[in-house]
A and B are shown apart, each in its own frame.
Chain A
Amino acid sequence: AQTVTQSQPEMSVQEAETVTLSCTYDTSESDYYLFWYKQPPSRQMILVIRQEAYKQQNATENRFSVNFQKAAKSFSLKISDSQLGDAAMYFCAYRSGNTGTASKLTFGTGTRLQVTL
């Protein structure tokens, strides 16, 4: 079974600074997808960024980028120019690329990001 580990329960960053959230995962599969989701307090979970394991290039979405290290099974999220609206719980998630199995997401325990002035 796949597992996702987020070792930082809480992180803090000053507005306009850069922060990196860590995520490691364990799998025996070679084809899979990785996601970062953001869950603001009392609001719905939204997708921040996704990465296909077969792609060597790291995904980027505006101020959000990932450092995907397949051999190390590491998938960190970098937030540049942090804004107050980035404050939320961030979840790393794994999904198998095997279309014959469930397309469920396996989530980590999350990292709570605080953004200070």
Chain B
Amino acid sequence: DTGVSQDPRHKITKRGQNVTFRCDPISEHNRLYWYRQTLGQGPEFLTYFQNEAQLEKSRLLSDRFSAERPKGSFSTLEIQRTEQGDSAMYLCASSLEGMGNQPQHFGDGTRLSIL
């Protein structure tokens, strides 16, 4: 169990640029989640996948955001035309769904800073 891996750890970009983050879940986990965490707040749900299917998207996920999980393995989260308000920590988590109490395992996150 190598844990959930996220890349990059930090991303600094200018407003208006596009950014893409990657998440590699724990290998046998079929569910993958994206959350956003701003300073002093708890994580907020963005979207989740079961295998390759994106099953739910939060209202927080504007049309500038898109997430994919091809082949049900790693996932990418892309933000187009970044805005100052996109500055946050983006967390990925994965779980093995089957029993409802299965915990979500989190990665270290990608910290996005918009200049």
A110 near B41: Cβ-Cβ < 8 Å: yes
The 23 sampled A-B contact pairs (Cβ below 8 Å) are: A4-B42, A31-B100, A37-B106, A44-B4, A44-B107, A44-B108, A45-B91, A45-B106, A46-B106, A50-B101, A52-B100, A52-B101, A102-B55, A102-B56, A103-B33, A103-B95, A103-B97, A104-B33, A104-B48, A104-B56, A107-B42, A109-B42, A110-B42
Please tell me which stretch of A12-20, A68-76, A91-99 contacts chain B, meaning at least 4 of its Cβ atoms lie within 8 angstroms of it. A91-99
Q: Nearest chain A CB to B81's CB is how many angstroms away? A: 26
Kindly state the interface size class of chain A when it binds its partner: 20 to 34
Q: Nearest chain A CB to B16's CB is how many angstroms away? A: 28
User: Contact residues of A with B, CB < 8 Å?
Assistant: 4, 31, 33, 35, 37, 43-47, 50, 52, 91, 93, 95, 97, 99, 102-110
B100 near A95: Cβ-Cβ < 8 Å: yes
Q: How far is the CA of A50 from the CA of B42 in the complex (A)?
A: 17
Q: B8 at the A/B interface (Cβ < 8 Å)?
A: no
A44 near B109: Cβ-Cβ < 8 Å: yes
Q: How far is the CA of A33 from the CA of B101 in the complex (A)?
A: 6
Q: How far is the CA of A99 from the CA of B43 in the complex (A)?
A: 21
Q: Nearest chain B CB to A40's CB is how many angstroms away? A: 11
Interfacial residues of chain B within 92-115, with CB under 8 A of chain A in the complex? 95, 97, 100-101, 103-109
- Residues of B with C-beta under 8 A to A95: 100
Q: Nearest chain B CB to A114's CB is how many angstroms away? A: 16
Partner of B100 from A99, A106, A108 at Cβ < 8 Å: A99
Q: Nearest chain A CB to B105's CB is how many angstroms away? A: 8
Q: How far is the CA of A50 from the CA of B41 in the complex (A)?
A: 21
